[in-house]
Amino acid sequence: APKAVLRADPKSFDDLVQIAFARDVVLHGQLMSAVHLVHFEPGRLEFRPHDSAPPDLANRLGTALRDWTGERWVVSVSGAEGAPTLTQQARTDRENALAQAAEHPMVKAVMSAFPGAVIRDLRNPLEQDEVAGPAAEPAPDAIDEEEPREA
């Protein structure tokens, strides 16, 4: 028997990106880095392609949306500037967060105590680390010098 396909119903561009993440990783990457969103509404997507976008992106999006939703979508390429790509937005958000962190008095104190130090990452201690879990501390034996093992 044919497998039932769950129909997608993206209500926003972010919904569409999440659906693509689950169904077509290549298209997801292109939505993230090669689409300057001009307009989105259910059934209609208008974007300006980034220079890196493949020439058939609009056609591929239209086909994917029809397959995923069961409805015909109007996907059009625009000459309007549109929003920055999601990748550009994430980069800007990260740069802003790093700049804001650098202004914190405690961070300034650390930076002056360690000339040449660079803020490379930001982590919220209140959020659980999904990889390491809540007790993300090294195991006691991982701290000690490793002793040679017998073969």
Task: Note the pLDDT tens digit of each residue in 75-117.
Answer: 999 999 999 999 999 999 999 999 999 999 999 999 999 999 9
Asked if the structure places residue 2 within a domain, the reply is no
* pTM strictly above 0.75: no
Asked if the structure places residue 112 within a domain, the reply is no
Tell me the residue range of the domain where 70 lies: 13-77
Structure tokens at 109: 């104190």
Asked if the structure places residue 23 within a domain, the reply is yes
Asked if the structure places residue 30 within a domain, the reply is yes
Asked if the structure places residue 131 within a domain, the reply is no
Distances (CA, A) of 2 to 5, 36: 9, 37
Task: Confirm if 34 and 26 have CB atoms less than 8 A apart.
Answer: no
**Comparison of pLDDT for 126 and 17, the residue scoring more:** 17
Task: Confirm if 33 and 25 have CB atoms less than 8 A apart.
Answer: no
Angle at alpha carbon of residue 59, lines to 53 and 65, rounded to 5°: 105
DSSP letters spanning 35-95: EEEEEEETTEEEEEE-TTS-TTHHHHHHHHHHHHHSS--EEEE-SS--PPPHHHHHHHHHH
Mean pLDDT score across all residues of the chain? 86
Asked if the structure places residue 142 within a domain, the reply is no
Closest to 119 measured CA to CA, from 132, 130, 110: 110
Task: Note the pLDDT tens digit of each residue in 9-31.
Answer: 999 999 999 999 999 999 999 99
Domain count, the chain: 1
Residue 143 confidence class, pLDDT cut points 50, 70, 90: very low
Asked if the structure places residue 52 within a domain, the reply is yes
Asked if the structure places residue 73 within a domain, the reply is yes
